[in-house]
Amino acid sequence: MKVLLLLVYLNNYIHSRVMSKVRCDEIMKDQIIFMFSGQGSQFFQMGKELYEQESIFKENLDQLDATFQRATGNSVIKYIYDEHRLKSDEFSDLFYTQPAIFMIEVALANLLIKKGIRPHAVIGSSLGEYAAGVVANVFHQEDVLNSLIDQVLFIKKFSQPGGMIAILASPSLYEEVPLLHHHSYLAAINNESHFVIASNLEGVKKIEQYLRTKEITFLRLPVTFPFHSSYIDVAGKAIQNRLSELHYQTPTIPFYSSVTGYRKENMNATYFWEVLREPIRFTSALTEVVDHDGAILIDLGPSGTLANLAKAQFKQQNDLSIFSILSPYADNVKALESVYSKLSIHDVGKSSKQKIQGVHGGRS
């Protein structure tokens, strides 16, 4: 429930909603940018309305779930769509969270592409870079999913548990407070009043106590390991060895890195390990990708968190269109139809030339 409350808080915190209607003949002029979020954005029942009503989305999600079932004997779909689980229930089991976020984002991207909404560029935050890589044809979706399944096992086997805390305060607080920079790592700076730290369980406990004492608004994210910190380095070799088994290709569309903050063309195992290990520079990368007026940003993450960050970052840029589809608070089917309507391409371009590798029989 705390996660949902924070999302509400962030939505209210962002004062300017940036939105404009786009005519059909403008779509190919403006950049369509797909954005993919990482851990912390997940919730039970995410995407269920689309799963029940959009056959393309369901088909792709079922295909990925079959891959997960072959590897683990379990079903992501049965787990996240269990009728006894509420959206407000904590969803933090790494065994399911990483694959689920990846699966939902890839299936949603495939749906949009099949409907004629084709990205000119992709950008991901943390785990979201794996989904972005699939859409940019860097690697096959089934191969990546199997790799993520093994990554979870390595993290659980080698790394010590911990957590990540979103703090609604100036990032300068991190350097000003010894407790923070001595007992945690700066995992992300999202804007001038929102940053994320990662620490082990002892550090998380001390930091939360300090933040409560100082009445600083914060939320512990539903993440059970301290990603984007040296605490997971012990799993690095095993994860990189597993990632080296994937076949990497040059992105077929621009891929913007939240590791470097710039466009990335050469992909390998080391890079996708850094995606999990290094600080997240999403806002820097987003500045790079939005290099001309009129860009169309579409958040494919479960909670619309990247759309909110983008609205805050570009609140003075009134000709920028920012959309989110999935949310724990709204009708996702209506949100999708709204995107179609505002882009003036509802039911147009179903036979998209762009395809996501692995959708039609990729390796597993």
Catalytic residues: 126
Dist. CA 225–CA 290, nearest whole Å: 32
Beta strand 296-299 with 185-191: parallel, antiparallel or unpaired? unpaired
Beta strand 321-324 with 32-36: parallel, antiparallel or unpaired? unpaired
- 360's CB contacts (< 8 A; 6+ apart) are none
